[in-house]
């Protein structure tokens, strides 16, 4: 995913989002600090935090998903060609995987 795409989505979400007391409790921001920070600034801080979290979490998730897909595909190809007498077919299928 492109960084700008994520920012666009977050901007749309946070334009309509309401900062709740529950969210402030999770973020561990006390009431005095919360009252002294303008709501738009809080929205930007939260949006940036979520953006960084997504960027941190996404690459390992994608890598793991790709690994699982490749292993699954390899196993399916091996199963499908297990009894085929022509080894060239499995080599061609292996080339098509990658």
The one-digit pLDDT tens for each residue of the chain (98 residues) are 455 666 676 667 666 666 666 666 666 666 666 667 787 787 787 778 888 888 888 899 999 999 999 899 888 878 888 888 888 887 887 788 66
Q: What is the residue range of 68's domain?
A: 3-97
Instruction: Determine if residue 19 is left, alpha or beta; phi over 0 gives left, psi from -120 to 50 gives alpha, anything else beta.
Output: beta
Kindly report the pTM of this predicted structure: 0.48
Looking at the structure of the chain, the number of domains it has is 1
Q: Which of 41, 54, 42 is nearest to 9 (CA)?
A: 54
Q: Which of 60, 17, 58 is nearest to 39 (CA)?
A: 17
Give the Cα separation of 1 and 8 in Å (integer). Answer: 12
């Amino acid at each position: 995913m492109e960084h700008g795409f994520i920012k666009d989505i977050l901007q749309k979400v946070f334009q309509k989002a309401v900062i709740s007391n529950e969210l402030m409790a999770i973020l561990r921001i006390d009431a005095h600090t919360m009252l002294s920070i303008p709501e738009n600034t809080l929205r930007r801080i939260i949006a940036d935090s979520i953006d960084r979290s997504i960027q941190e979490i996404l690459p390992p998730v994608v890598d793991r998903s790709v690994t699982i897909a490749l292993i699954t595909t390899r196993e399916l190809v091996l199963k499908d060609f297990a009894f085929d007498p022509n080894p060239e077919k499995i080599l061609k299928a292996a080339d098509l995987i990658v």
